Amino acid sequence: MRRGETPLGGVQDTGGELVLRREAGALVLAGESSRYGKPLRVDFAEGRAAHRRRFGGGRGQLIARACGLAAGVTPSVVDATAGLGRDAFVLASLGAEVLLIERVAQIHALLEDGLVRAASDADTAEIVARMHLAHGDATRELAALVAASGIAPQVVHLDPMFPHREKSALVKKEMRLFRELAGDDDDAPRLLEAALDVATHRVVVKRPRKAPPIAGPAPQHVIEGKTSRYDLYVHRSLKI
């Protein structure tokens, strides 16, 4: 069974137990620190997200270009692999309405808690008002989740897990915990098919720079950065 499908509140793992608990007002997911490092939590108002919001480079950022945000063009986006909401927060900071879909119950719970806390912070309230969270498996129920949200799926953004994508020891520990919950997302080819069916304008897939594209149709465009790459599957222009 996929680990995220176990009930909320604690997951058994060969290396120890993962538990959701409150720490200084925030929901955190914690495991044995020597194995997993610091507990996982979602913070939009502080840390990396806040820094990127202030100094990140606006619509020149790779993700913004890949999703088609340009002068006078702000598409609505479905982030069907929401994770900890970092990419979705960048897009919402730039003005996009974003539907975030996450299938792992514990990750969804962290995300929901992060959104609630950010909604009462003056710096982030207006941004997270554009972020709409849904719990479900986008491979199986993308069309239904999108219809229920009322958000237009002009762009579908996908960032499925990929083995060994990060190098630093710190990130590795964080990723270990995350990966044990999320698994390897080996149904990504079916998720891409579902996304291509639903997106009205384009599907954008984030990959590690040297990874092969998701199995299936070839992307029409590729945008490369230092460590990541975006594969673009374009149905029609966002500028019309």
Ligand X SMILES: C[S@@+](CC[C@H](N)C(=O)[O-])C[C@H]1O[C@@H](n2cnc3c(N)ncnc32)[C@H](O)[C@@H]1O
**How many CB atoms sit inside 10 A of residue 178's CB?**
20
Which of these, 217, 26, 221, lies nearest to 114 by C-alpha position? 26
- Distance in angstroms (rounded) separating the CA atoms of residues 39 and 186: 26
- For ligand X, the binding residue among 49, 91, 115, 182 (CB under 6 A) is 182
Our CB check for ligand X shows the closer of 171 and 236 to be 171
* Contact status: 85 vs ligand X (CB under 6 A): yes
* Contact status: 99 vs ligand X (CB under 6 A): no
- Distance in angstroms (rounded) separating the CA atoms of residues 3 and 7: 9
Residue nearest to ligand X (CB): 83
Size of the site for ligand X (CB under 6 A): 21
The answer to whether 103 is annotated as binding is yes
- Distance in angstroms (rounded) separating the CA atoms of residues 39 and 27: 10
Q: DSSP string spanning 143-177?
A: HHHHHHHT---SEEEE----TT---SHHHHHHHHH
- For ligand X, the binding residue among 97, 180, 185, 231 (CB under 6 A) is 185
Minimum distance, C-beta of residue 48 to ligand X, in the bound complex (Å): 10
* Contact status: 83 vs ligand X (CB under 6 A): yes
- For ligand X, the binding residue among 87, 113, 180, 231 (CB under 6 A) is 87
Q: Residue 177 corresponds to which amino acid? A: L
Minimum distance, C-beta of residue 104 to ligand X, in the bound complex (Å): 4
Residues of the shown chain interacting with ligand X in the complex, contacts defined by CB under 6 A: 80-81, 83-87, 101-104, 107, 137-139, 159-161, 182, 185, 191
